[in-house]
Each structure stands twice: as structure tokens, then as C-alpha cells.
Structure 1
Amino acid sequence: MTSLAAWTSPDRPELPGGQQWVLAGRPLRPDVELAYTSRFMDEVWRLDPGVLQRHVKTLALDFPTIPGRYRLHAKQLCYAMLAGPLPPGEKRQSLFSIRSAFIDVRRFLSWLDNRPAVAGHPLRPDLARLTTDDLADYHRHLLTLPNASASEHARRVVRLFWRYRTGLADPLSIDPHQVESWSRPKRPAENTTDRIPEPVLWPLLGWALRFVDEFAPDILDAHQRWLDYRSRFRNGKRGHNPGAAAQLQSYLDDHVHAGYPLPGYQGRPNLQFIAAEVGISHTGLIRRHSVTVNATAALVGVTEYTWLGTAIRGRLDGAPWINDIAVNHPAQSVRKLARLLQVSCWVVIAFLSGMRDSEVKHLRRGCVTVARDAEGRPYWWKLTSRAFKGETDAAGTEATWIVGHPAARAVAVLEQLQPVDRTLLFSYLAHSNAAGSSKAIPDQAQSTGVTNAQLGELVRWINDYCALHGHADGIPLVNGRSWRLSTRQFRRTLAWFIARRPGGVIAGAIQYRHLSVQMFEGYAGTSDSGFRAEVESEQALSRGEHLLTMIDAHEHTTLIGPAAEEARRRLDGFAGRARFTGTVMTDSHRLARLLRRDDPAIYPGTFATCVFNHDKALCRSHRDTTTTPRPVLGDCRPLECANVALTATNTSALRTELDHVDHELAARPSLPPLLTHRLRSRRDQIQQFLDRHLPEPS
């Protein structure tokens, strides 16, 4: 066993006691004073007063979950990261990072507390007495975790007891990096967030767009009627009202003459709703007129639910999508449908912009800017919000995203759904089930957990609706189970589709390629969102899969063109380094590592395959997020560039282009002379290029 090296620090600062505020020195929410925040002596430290993101409701460190033997250790470490003097070279960590570290602090200290005493390993030892053998035991314990990234994060957290040793009474006395295999070479981060399967994504997006474009007017009408009803109920006339009896009788007579049941609730007349409709107090109706109401109910009956009488305008397959909207109903209540409308807007905005949940949640009224052409027609829409990822300011920084019209329409719906005095578009709705304080705070946005729950609620509503009405476009099961949606998956999925399906179509009507270009423009402009890097990673994987498929089919041996020989050489080497055995590599992680190490820099395209050499390239090559030079395929000049190789698919595309040009030249009436000249010139260039590189027919 490695001997213990005693740790001393003559310049260690004074350790925290019971009264220190743990958020001292940090910016706080506008409505919070430091004097009312958590102190060191508290058993639970509330961190949310220092969180300036409006969608975060609670964030806390719950120290009773730490074994009592090591609770002070955890408190001292967390205080050192939150507010204590920083050791040399350390930066103040974010509240979210500290909360994340707390989970693995608890894991490590619980392991120590539960570790049985054996020879050389005393029960519940001081941290300063831990040796490299002890840490190696914990390292082996972490290897049993199912997730390698979780194990890596847990090791980094243990080292905090060394890095912040000057603020601890009982720190580690050795650097865990001394433990063999403790510190592995840091790998580039791989996005492990699940991508939404296509069979789930397309119907989900289609239904979300239906809510925004078809159902929203009816839900907004019902929402306004509910607000009017609530206002009438709250402001119902009090005291003696001599006209109440006549008003009520007229209301009841109308129902009798029409033979229409009274509004019902749980099998009885809904007296609260009737009182609001008539304009009298609920109490007065019960005391003076309940007998009359019940007599009428005996004649005409009562409805099962209290309907708002919304005139339904939305259509689905040519018929009204719903019969009416109710005050309370399992599937058709105004509060449920308004909630589903709000989360549908979230789906449309998040997926068609690539915004993170925190960025979507900070959208405010008036966040859309429209650019119009000379004739006043809109051609792009810009959303303004706040970005937090990678920003030094805890309050975030203003950022913009270029989006298409569907996302802008979703914003317009949200602006109608919220009261005019509410600026945050994803604050809680007036009739939501949130706690009263959450609804009352105008600048409190819904939490990520609430949105995740509403995404699940939306899927269930869609499937129930499809089952009831015989629609076939519900959300299918994946491997026999309902797919569990989360906010993180949408951005990840969008990056995948931009990289791999740039010409695809969303919901049968949206030009996806156009949207992807717009979204790239927006992300390039204002914030270091990391979105471009995600897309480039997906593009690289798609390209690698294509190249390995070419090798598997031996297509690289039949390439023609000026760079054909170079392409064959690179792809033979690529196959060899991949230890290619005749089957396509399907492990995306292995393929990503191979491309980072041995990228052949070959880029398949429609009319040509680029065998990229920066010195010969005629396109405006650019550098990606890893500073590696890349070709700009949209600027490719395949008939002139020395970097071109041709596959059979490329030559077929060129021949198809020749046929298209011939068709245009033969069209009647004839084209203008200048255009005819250009088309003939292009045709001659293509034909000469093919003649130069295609083998002579035998």
C-alpha cells in the first residue's frame, strides 16, 4: 500500500462557519436579497435565487442525502466552489456545474461510508488518510457504471477534493491523477443524446403544426371565453340584485324552449357557471334560486360537461376537428387544449430553429423580426432571445436565430395565448395546474421538466384522438414501447437531418433545404451555440458511411476523372486503417474516431466527388469548427477543378443534365439569345468533360 503523505498548508484561509451566505458575491434574481438566501449552517442550500434563467424554478443542494460522517466535507467543498476563496488557477463554477458535481460528491462519500473495514482500510476514514490504493478501489467501482461518461465525470468530481484542498479541513492528500488509469486522455465530446426516430418525429411535428395552424383559432376563442367566464364569476354582483330573478328566468326559459340541457358538472347543474352567465353571485344563486334551477334541470337535463359553446372553425379531413371545448373535460377542456397548444408551439419553434430549451423559454413578446423584399413579401423571420451555453454572463447574452414562417406563426399564437402584460411566451398559463406562485410571477417560465411532461401528454392526446376518430397518423411505439421525448432530443435530431437529409421535406410542405440554410445563417451570426459543430459531426459520419459503402462495393476502383487515382489511393489507405474486412463499419463511435484520425478528405456530391486538395481547389474553401480546411460544395466547379473524381452516379447525373439542357434548347417558343448561348456553352462543356474522361466504347 502506498504510504500516506501528510498534507499541510500554512496559508490555508479561514474555513467557513455557520453564518456565511453561500451565494455571496454572485448575481441574484431582481426580487431576491442576499439576507434571505441560504447560509452555510442550513441543511438544504437553495441555489435558484442565483439562477438568472427564467425557466429554472428550483435548484438546491440537499445535504441530508450525504452520510452524516462526511456531510461537513461536502458542505466545505460546495462552499469553496460557490463563494469561498478560489485556489490559484481555478475559475468560479456555475451553479449548474456545482449541482451536477454534488451528485457525484454524494456517490463518492456514500461509497466511503458504506465500504466495509478490511485490513489496511479503516472504516469511514478521513479523506486525508486515503491512499492511491483506496482511490484505485473507487476507480474500479466506477468502472461498473453502465455509462462511461458518467464514470469519467465521477472521477473528475473526486479530484475536486484535491483541487479545492485549501478550503477543506480534511482534503485529499494526494492528487488522484497519481492513480494508474485515473486520468485518461480526454476524448472529443460525442453527443450521446438520443435522436428522435423518424416514425415518431414526423407525425409529432405534423400534429404540432395542426395545432398551430388549424386548431389554434378555436382554442384561442375558447381560452378567451374561459377568461370572460372567470372574470364574470369573480366580479359577479353581490348583495341584493332585484333583476337577478328575471335574468335567471330568461336564461332558463331559453334552455326550455330550445330543449337544450343546462350546463352540468358531475351530474348536477353547474351553478357556478350559470351564475357567471347570468351575472349574479354564485352564493346568491344557491340561496335564492337553486330550486328553480333544479326544476328546469328536471325538464331538460344537464350536460355531462360544461361546454363553452365555441364555434369550431378548424377542419381535419374536411370535418370539424372537435365538437366543442369544455371548462372541464378529460380530453377537451380548455386548460388541456391550451397546454397542448403551448407545447405544440414549443415543438415547432425548437425543431425548426435548433434552439436549446433555455433559449426557447426566454422568447418574449415582440421577439420576431420580419425581412421583406422590395414588393413587401417576407422572405425570412428572425427570433431574438438569450443564449446561455458558453456565455460568461449568468444572465446570458442576446442572440438571434433565422427561422421559417412556421416558427414565426407559432410565436404569434403564443402571443395571443398569454395575457398582454406577460412578456415571456412560455410562462405558465392562467388556467394551468401549476402552483399559484408560479402562475403569479410574470417572469417565471416553465421548467424543462414541465415541458418534458407536456411532450408526453401531447403524444398521449394524439394517440387517443387517433384511436377515437380512426386516424392512422398517431405516434407509433418504438421497440414495443412509447418513445420518451425530452427537450434535448429536438436540437440533436435537427442537426442529424440537416447533415443527412438536407433536401428532405417537413410535413409535406416545408422546404427543408431552405430552412437549413436559414438556420445556419442565424447560428453563424450571433452566438457560439455549438450547433454548427453538431451538424458538421453528423455530416462527417454520413460521409464516412458513404465512403465505406463505396469501398465495400469496390466503386473506388472504377473512378474516373483528374483526381481518380488520388481517390483510389486515399480510399485504399482509409480501408486499411479501418482494418476493413468486407463489411461496412456500423459503430458510429468507431467511425467518428477513424475520421478524426484518418479522414481521407473525400466529399461525395451530385455531379462530382471532391478529392479535396486545398492548393488545387477552385471553390472558396472554408475552415470548420476544428479549423480543418473543407471544400464549399455549393461553390463547386466540377468541369474545371483538378480535385474532381467521378463515380458512375456522377456521370449519370451529368448525362441527365445534358438531357435537361437539350430539352430546354428544343423548347418552343425559343429562349432569348443570351440564355440560348449560355445553355449551349454549358452543354458543350459537359460533353467535352465527359469525352475527356469516359473510357472509349469497346
Structure 2
Amino acid sequence: MGIVHSRNNPLPPVLMELRIGCRRPPEESVPGLTRYRIASKIVKGQPLGGTDDEWVVIDPVYRAIELLEQLHDAPDEGSLLIGRFSFNVRFKWFKNWANSEAGLRLGLLPIPEGPVNLRMLRRSLSLEMAYRPGGVLATKIHMKHIAVATTEGYASRPGGAQAELLAEVNKHESERNLQLVLEEFRNYQEGILPAGPGARSLTEFFAGIDAQLDAASAAAPKTQRNDRDVLNLLTKRAKVLHLGPANYCWFTDPSRALCLKLAGTPTADRPLIGMCDSARCPQATHHPGHRPVWAEHADRTKVFIGQLGTTRKTERTRLQADLDRALRVVAEIDAASDTRNEESS
């Protein structure tokens, strides 16, 4: 998942085609924003010998390739960095080392016994990508499908691989949503409240659940409510939870969803997360886990404003409004999180 995109082709490079010196010099287009590129070859569907191309990667991938070059037995320019390898053999070596005294000294967790192969890793990667917005497109890119239709087509086969994957994803997504709602309910009980336009509605819902639990405890004082009892009460709310990049969307009423109003589709059964304006939508909430995203957005916007010339008044006005919104959201999250401290004092 470290490869972002290619210059000419979205297919990720073949690892066996990476060579010594494939790292391109980092480029800093704006202060604090560095782009890392590697050169490799496209092999699938290409003429014999492949086609040269370049890819943008994240910093950990760039540093991992640098480390591989340093550990190479013969680091001559143009030599194959990895070459052909057997995953089973190399994984066995790695597991034996990680479970040895050397791995324990480094604080590595022991790798449990059991079969591991590239097919299992590929499926786990597919599940992780499917959790995220735009998961179909991400799966298409990383699984090397020629077209998105190939990825979507599996869903139309009864009992097909894609249908089985989607069913498994939906199951895991439901379990994840339940755990997220439970965590926020526990935060509410500890005085850490949500922020955002939909905070009041969510707080009232949690207060109702808390009241039901208190009533049940009063009727049976020797009965302790466990997480399963609470999850049963939170299940309905978890079904309407949708994750945005910087907020939670509680899609309880489509007629109130701002994204559907902007898109002109008020009768849709799912929100359009890509069009979400969580600072204005009455069904969106912000939580402490979203604070870093808003804080980083505010910092980057400050940098952009500082780089604008004096004549670019329109852009400055627009960015200033965006900065004010981000700072307001951060302040609301901080204020809601400080409720516990105020109550304890």
C-alpha cells in the first residue's frame, strides 16, 4: 500500500525488477511536502524486457529501499536489488530470527506458528483496502486489474470470489462500527463528549442508553452489565455509522444529510463521504481521534496563506475561511474533551 501512483501507468512495479540506484532524488514542491519516486519496469502486458516507468511512494518505502541497497552483497549500480526469491524460505528465515534471542532483545513480538503465504497476505491487503473510501479503485490498482469493471464484475457472480470478499468485508465493517460506537459511549461515560453539529443528537442518544442501563441496574442490583448488553443497545446506531477522513457520519435521516442536498440526491440510502462538509452537516461529529487531521489541515493552510502574494486576495479570503473553520473544529474538540477535567475539578 506504499505505492501511490505511476507517472504513465497505475500498475505497481514488480519488486523483482527494482535495481540499485532506482531511488530518484526527493523533490520538495512546497515546504514540508516531499515527494519520493522510484524507477522500475512494468512487465505485465508489456513487450519482452518490460517498459521503464517511475512511481511515487511514501517515505517508509523509500527508506526501506535505501536500507536494502546498503545491505546488498554487491551494490553495483544497476544490479538487481532483490531478484528472484522464494517467499516461503525467506519468511521461515525471518520468523526464526524474530523468535530468537536477537529478536527478543529488539523487542519484537514472537510470530505464532501457522501457515503464511502470499495469497493470504494478498487477501488481508484486499480486506484492509476495502475498509476505506474508494476501496474498489484502490483494489483495482494494487491487485493489477486492467479495469475497474474487472474488480466490480466479481460481485455479480453468486458465490464468486468478489461476492465472498464483500460479504466478509461487510461482516468486519459491522463489527468495527460496533466497537467504535462502544468506545465513544465509554468516552461519553468518562466525560469525553463529541463535538460538531451532530454532537447534541449523539449525546442525547448516549444519555438514553445510559439511563436504560441505570434502570436495569436499579431493578437488579446484583447484575453487572457487560459489553455484550451494551452492544445490543448500540447495534441500531452502529448500522448508520459511516467513517469520513476527519469525522463520523451518523446517517440517521437522509433528508438532513448535507452531502445529498448538495448532490441533488435526497433519497439516496448512503452518504456521499467525498462531499462531506462535517463542519456544517447536522449528522456529523468530531472526536479526539480526528483532532490531528484538522490540526494538520490548519497548519498546512497557514503555510499556503503565507506563500500567497499581496494581489491574490480571492484565494487569501477563501483559504482564511478554511483556516478559521479548521481552527474552530479543533477548538470544539478540545472544549468537548476538557469536559471531564472541568467536572473533576
Calculate the TM-score normalised by the size of structure 1: 0.27
Higher-RCO chain (CA-CA 8 Å, sequence separation at least 6): 2
Question: Which has the larger Rg?
Answer: 1
The structure richer in helix per residue is: 2
